[in-house]
Amino acid sequence: MDNNLVFLFDLDGTITAEETLPKISKYFGIDAQIDILTQETLNGNIPFVESFIRRVDILKQIPVSDINNLLEEVRLFSVVVHFIRQHSNQCYIVTGNLTDWIEKLVSRIGCGFFASKGEVHNDRLIKLTEILKKEDVVKQFKKQGKTVVFIGDGNNDSEAMRESDISIACGLTHYPANSVLSVADYAVFSEASLLRLLHQIQSRQPGKSVILSCAGIGSRLGLGQTKALIELHGKKLIEIQLDSFRKMEDVRIVIGFQSNVIIQTVLKIRTDVIFVYNHDYFQTKTGASFYLGARHANEYAIAWDGDLLVHPEDIEKCLSFEGEYIGCSSIVSDDPVYIQTDADGQAIAFSYDSGVFEWSGPACLRSSNVKYVVDNVFNQIEELLPLTLLQIRARDIDTYEDYKNALHFTRGWK
């Protein structure tokens, strides 16, 4: 386990299963004023600091202890709280909320915290004295040499997430703010996937992860959308892939172009996927996406391109094969990347000129062997050769001609 790690959690909507402010305002009958302010703030239309000052001003009328008592009862995500308690010396809550409002709630969770401060007199808030800038907390830990992981969902988390070493957009209560998604390394939408990811960041976990690369713009195909969203026989490619991986616990989807549409499509099918951002999707290829997906993946990472179609009878073989391998097929493409083999049938080189097989993917590698490349997965694999070859029936969809072939290839699949 990496003891140099520090986990910083936003409070509202990340640890609490309901936003605290609407709860306060509803309880004390001031919803109308507060709701508009909250929504506008979450949407990023009112700067956080201005919104916070205005909110505090409205809430000043309520005794501080009343808010403190009310928030102590707020519903929490039990799985998140459990993780925090188990690692309480590495976890902190970082919230813009006022210390005097959340002290009881935080002590119930059981870790250190950073919050805004105010001057209280006779149980009434007199004035604000400090508005917490979450990014300052991140910088402070980084100065101490810590590796900072930030988990948040709101607009006021985005700067802190940008400064963090690893940032997780958390969609447990509501869809994360756009500003958060635009800097996040990961996005998760269930407690199961958040917990799995936190453990993976802490230390390499046993087992396999599937890394499905869906970040590209699909320019050669020319259908104007990322390949994951094109349809074959009435089913989106991403739906076909998820069906193939339904038995795999750790499915990681690397997203870039049209990421929100992909997320929405996936969440209708399963919510425990870990989304990995390749923000540089226009300049990089699947090798970069695989690297990002494998960064905190389980011991073995299976590289699976979003447009790779494997015959149903061969999928199980790809997912359960023990150890490292690379997938190949007989020569089926117009413009293949060939695989050259040695006398034992091991893959020893890729070639544009000749070979017995065609590189098709997938590939299963030890995650720790996956290095960063800007181009293709096979460029990444080259220095790891020789590797075991796994022969399968597969197609990919690079061009419109490939698409038509794939329609033919997949006809009659269950």
Residue (7 or 409) nearer to Mg ion, CB: 7
Spell out the SS3 assignment of the chain. CCCCEEEEECCCCCCECCCHHHHHHHHCCCHHHHHHHHHHHHCCCCCHHHHHHHHHHHHCCCCHHHHHHHHHCCCECHHHHHHHHHCCCCEEEEEEEEHHHHHHHHHHHCCEEEEEEEEEECCEEEEEEECCCHHHHHHHHHHCCCEEEEEECCHHHHHHHHHCCEEEEECCCCCCCHHHHCCCCEEECCHHHHHHHHHHHHCCCCCEEEEEEECCCCCCCCCCCCHHHCEECCEEHHHHHHHHCCCCCCEEEEEECEHHHHHHHHHCCCCCCEEEECCCCCCCCHHHHHHHHHCCCCCEEEEEECCCEECHHHHHHHHHCCCCEEEEECCCCCCCCEEEECCCCCEEEEECCCCCEEEEEEEEEEHHHCCCCCCCHHHHHHHHCCECEEECCEECCCCHHHHHHHHHHHCCCC
The structure tokens listed for 38 are 């909250």
Number of residues near Mg ion (by CB under 5 A)? 5
Give the shortest CB-151-to-Mg ion separation in angstroms.
10
Residue (114 or 321) nearer to Mg ion, CB: 114
Give the shortest CB-15-to-Mg ion separation in angstroms.
9
**Contact flag: residue 96 with Mg ion (CB under 5 A):** no
Residue (10 or 163) nearer to Mg ion, CB: 10
Q: Which of residues 102-141 bind Mg ion (CB under 5 A)?
A: none
**Contact flag: residue 216 with Mg ion (CB under 5 A):** no
- Closest-CA residue to 228 (of 244, 206, 212): 212
**Contact flag: residue 13 with Mg ion (CB under 5 A):** yes
Q: Which of residues 248-307 bind Mg ion (CB under 5 A)?
A: none
Give the shortest CB-108-to-Mg ion separation in angstroms.
18
Which residue among 10, 135, 163, 307 contacts Mg ion (CB under 5 A)?
10
Residue (10 or 135) nearer to Mg ion, CB: 10
- Interface characters, 135-174, with Mg ion (x: CB under 5 A): ------------------xx--------------------
Residue (36 or 349) nearer to Mg ion, CB: 36
Residue (13 or 287) nearer to Mg ion, CB: 13
Which residue among 6, 8, 9, 12 contacts Mg ion (CB under 5 A)?
12
Stretch that binds Mg ion, among 9-17, 212-220, 277-285, 375-383 (CB under 5 A): 9-17
Give the shortest CB-153-to-Mg ion separation in angstroms.
5
Cβ atoms of residues 95 and 155 within 8 Å: no
Residue (100 or 153) nearer to Mg ion, CB: 153
Give the shortest CB-10-to-Mg ion separation in angstroms.
4
Give the shortest CB-334-to-Mg ion separation in angstroms.
51
Give the shortest CB-47-to-Mg ion separation in angstroms.
16
Stretch that binds Mg ion, among 12-20, 272-280, 295-303, 357-365 (CB under 5 A): 12-20
Give the shortest CB-187-to-Mg ion separation in angstroms.
14
Footprint of Mg ion (CB under 5 A): 10, 12-13, 153-154
